[in-house]
A and B are shown apart, each in its own frame.
Chain A
Amino acid sequence: DAKTTQPTSMDCAEGRAANLPCNHSTISGNEYVYWYRQIHSQGPQYIIHGLKNNETNEMASLIITEDRKSSTLILPHATLRDTAVYYCIVSGNYGQNFVFGPGTRLSVLP
């Protein structure tokens, strides 16, 4: 499965949009992009996933470039409760291929 590269950490002002990038230049045609987040001392929480079209749900938007080599998770109006580690995962299926990397630590600042 394709590997992902994310910045180690990011800051965002409360109320502003948080844009979290992810590079996955070796993604293959059947692999989806998944985003999860983990708030301290809790289990990871599913946010959103997509194949090639942009996706939006009540939590976030996922923008995938046309060549699918990178994507951006957008939290439109970040709150203090969005402070967490955000994981970008690229996989064609679950099981042993669903690998969590170190993620991006997002700090939302008042």
Chain B
Amino acid sequence: SQTIHQWPATLVQPVGSPLSLECTVEGTSNPNLYWYRQAAGRGLQLLFYSVGIGQISSEVPQNLSASRPQDRQFILSSKKLLLSDSGFYLCAWETGGRSPLHFGNGTRLTVT
């Protein structure tokens, strides 16, 4: 069966430090991959999505970037974190058509 892994579960980073969050999907090929962010008490905001290796679409101009070095790996990065980057980061995947969007358990990032 398909599974999605996100790590770490929680992260506390100082302002100005770099960030790397990783997401991997198992049990499927060529998934479409997504990064969402959820601020405290708010809805989900789509940050990036990818339909293939090296193909990244950015929805919100910001301090973050994404990369997809392998078919089932999606990485969210920042060179210098801001306080406003704090939030709950969620990775998700689907395989096209009307297949459901499956989410990982998320990473709670606190920038101090």
Report if A and B associate in a common complex: yes
Residues of A with Cβ closer than 8 Å to B? 32, 34, 36, 41-46, 49, 87, 94-96, 98-103
The segment from B12-20, B64-72, B97-105 that touches chain A is B97-105
Main DSSP-derived SS at the A contact region:
loop
A43 contacts B57, C-beta separation under 8 Å = no
A95 contacts B32, C-beta separation under 8 Å = yes
* Given A41-B106, A42-B105, 18 extra CB contacts under 8 A: A34-B100, A36-B101, A43-B92, A43-B103, A43-B104, A44-B44, A44-B90, A46-B100, A49-B98, A94-B32, A95-B57, A96-B46, A96-B59, A100-B36, A100-B44, A102-B42, A102-B43, A103-B43
Q: How many A-B residue pairs have CB under 8 A?
A: 49
A43 contacts B108, C-beta separation under 8 Å = no
Residues of B with Cβ closer than 8 Å to A? 32, 34, 36, 42-44, 46, 49, 51, 57, 59, 88, 90, 92, 94, 96, 98, 100-106, 108
Q: How far is the CB of B96 from chain A (nearest CB, A)?
A: 8
